[in-house]
Structure 1
Amino acid sequence: MQDFETDGHRARKRFGQNFLSDPNIIRKIIDAIRPQPGELMVEIGPGLGAMTAPLIERLGHLHVVEIDRDLIARLHETYAPAQITVHEGDALKFDFSSLCAGGDQPLRIVGNLPYNISTPILFHLAEYADRVKDMTFMLQKEVVMRMVAEPGTEEYGRLSVMLQYRFRMGRMFDVPPGAFRPAPKVMSSIVRMAPLPKDQLGAQDETLLGKIVTAAFGQRRKTLKNTLRDYMGDADFAALGIDPSLRGEKLSVEQFVAIANHCCARG
């Protein structure tokens, strides 16, 4: 994608900028988010403010995280401090828990996430799940399909398992390329993520779970016997009733948790 001039701003390729411009789609997304007055909400990558304005109208005040200095200047020019708090910097490095400091109000996170770094951002945001009410994002449809994929499907993988372990996932609706300027070459989708209660998570060691899931999908064509050989032997698979000749894509989230807990208990 070349840099593209729109509404007086040059969309920058390095930031993965595609600005939402279809008013009907914008209205549909805001209605899906259902922002309520006084809620604590942060928008990642507000861009030219397509969602920012209607969010502020309903909320009263909005936090935003933006990396583009030109867009930051526009936000300051457009909105009063009482309406918006602009956090300048990279969302991948931002401490979202800082927005909850000193209060018990849960955080709602929304945004049109940059497609070129969407997976790292999702894993970063998952770290704050215990402070979050929900997250609603627009992402490349291909990524959303991986997020909500079921075991045994081609899309099912590490992203599916690790997000579904922590969140209740829901794909809402698709957004065509023509709704953006410049138009991306791919279809987009809206996805909602609601953190699951801690007592439903189950993994005794979430770091170990992550390592096991990463290993299982590191070489998708290989069987669990090979990909998990550093963690599981024949007796371990037998104890859990899991066929070692299966591939990682066949296991449910619960089965991955069972493997991690077995390894943790075995020591």
Structure 2
Amino acid sequence: MSHKSPFEHRARKRFGQNFLHDAGVINRIIRSIAPKTGDHLVEIGPGQGALTRDLVDSGAQLDVVELDQDLVPILLAQFALKDNFALHQGDALRFDFSSLQRDGEKLRIIGNLPYNISTPLMFHLLSYQSLIEDMHFMLQKEVVDRLAAGPGDNHYGRLGIMVQYYCQVDFLFPVGSGAFNPAPKVESAIVRLRPHTELPHPARDVSLLQQVVRTAFTQRRKTLRNALKTLIDADSIDALGIDSGTRPERVSLAQFVAISDRLAERASSGDEE
């Protein structure tokens, strides 16, 4: 009978685990975050603690949220005696991040996010945007490209538009697959999301904005007039100063908000298209 060391852990496919081990990349991430005493950090999916030690050593309060029960003893063995460390075993997609806030300070979120949960987790966190100062994520590079893309870019679409509605997005730097064990088949990148203190283009009805954007990009090669014909007619789009003959990938966030606001106005007044 073999006895498994508490410090041995195989990455699990079902959790999408790829553990960061490259010291140069770790240092660059820590420099980007620049944690300091007085910060309240929240690390999602700390894994085996590659970033955790530097985050704890910064003197900041650090809460970590880890789903994999087998990683809990590994993390506790390293950090349980640190006064500024607290571990929460659970699913970040269901976690109440407001429960971590104390004395009104804002949270700084950090995470190496598995591809399969990255989008729903970002939107879960954005529901707490008023509590969050910034977020630093390691994501699949293609996802970061989509988050940071602007009108006319190949990667521009629903994800980038809706995240940029809530946040300033900064593509920081790419990370090669060799920085992980096991090495993933895709490239990764670090992104910084900073929730806007005031939304630059507030929509009258965010759910309606989401519907407009989703409908527009269902067939992104169509013109705006054809993509949105079930919601709004071409003359109404043109009346907003937006060319209904353009493709959705060239329409800005502000323009999508203008379209959704027009629909919201009509809904509130009882007018039909």
Cα distance, 1:10 vs. partner? 0.8
Q: Residue 110 of structure 1: SS of its match in structure 2? A: strand
Answer yes or no: is the 8 Å Cα contact 1:66–1:91 preserved in 2.
yes
Distance in 1, matches of 2:103 and 2:259, equals 37
Amino acid at match of 1:86: L
1:90-140 alpha-carbon deviations (Å, 9 max, x no partner): 11111212212x531011001111122212212222211111100011111
2:100 paired residue number = 99
Answer yes or no: is the 8 Å Cα contact 1:63–1:84 preserved in 2.
yes
Amino acid at match of 2:42: V
After TM superposition, the structure 1 = structure 2 runs for residues 216-231 of structure 1, keeping only pairs within 5 Å, are 216-231=216-231
Q: Residue 200 of structure 1: SS of its match in structure 2? A: coil
Cα distance, 1:84 vs. partner? 1.8
1:3 paired residue number = none
Answer yes or no: is the 8 Å Cα contact 1:112–1:137 preserved in 2.
yes
Q: Residue 10 of structure 2: SS of its match in structure 1? A: strand
Cα distance, 1:24 vs. partner? 1.2
- Structure 1 unmatched runs, 5+: 1-6
After TM superposition, the structure 1 = structure 2 runs for residues 30-179 of structure 1, keeping only pairs within 5 Å, are 30-80=30-80, 82-100=83-101, 102-179=102-179
1:35-68 alpha-carbon deviations (Å, 9 max, x no partner): 0112111001000000001000003431011100
Distance in 2, matches of 1:25 and 1:155, equals 25
Distance in 2, matches of 1:134 and 1:59, equals 18
Distance in 1, matches of 2:90 and 2:220, equals 36
Answer yes or no: is the 8 Å Cα contact 1:166–1:201 preserved in 2.
no
2:3 paired residue number = none
More off after superposition, 190-199 vs 131-140? 190-199
Q: Residue 93 of structure 1: SS of its match in structure 2? A: coil
Cα distance, 1:17 vs. partner? 0.3
Distance in 1, matches of 2:19 and 2:127, equals 27
Are 2:209 and 1:209 aligned? Answer: yes
Answer yes or no: is the 8 Å Cα contact 2:40–2:60 preserved in 1.
no
Amino acid at match of 1:8: E
Q: Residue 213 of structure 1: SS of its match in structure 2? A: helix
Q: Which runs of 4+ in 1 moved over 4 A?
A: none
Q: Residue 198 of structure 1: SS of its match in structure 2? A: coil
- Structure 2 unmatched runs, 5+: 1-6, 268-273
More off after superposition, 44-53 vs 226-235? 226-235
Distance in 1, matches of 2:212 and 2:142, equals 24
Amino acid at match of 2:32: A
Distance in 2, matches of 1:256 and 1:167, equals 16
Distance in 1, matches of 2:194 and 2:185, equals 29
More off after superposition, 40-49 vs 72-81? 72-81
Distance in 2, matches of 1:252 and 1:30, equals 33
1:73-101 alpha-carbon deviations (Å, 9 max, x no partner): 2222222262321121111111212212x
Q: So what's the TM-score if we normalise by structure 1?
A: 0.93
Q: Residue 63 of structure 1: SS of its match in structure 2? A: strand
Equivalent residue pairs, number: 260
Change (3 A) 1:256 1:42: same
Cα distance, 1:194 vs. partner? 0.7
Cα distance, 1:207 vs. partner? 1.4
1:249 paired residue number = 249
Amino acid at match of 2:87: V
Answer yes or no: is the 8 Å Cα contact 2:111–2:137 preserved in 1.
yes
Structure 1 vs Structure 2: percent identity of aligned residues? 50
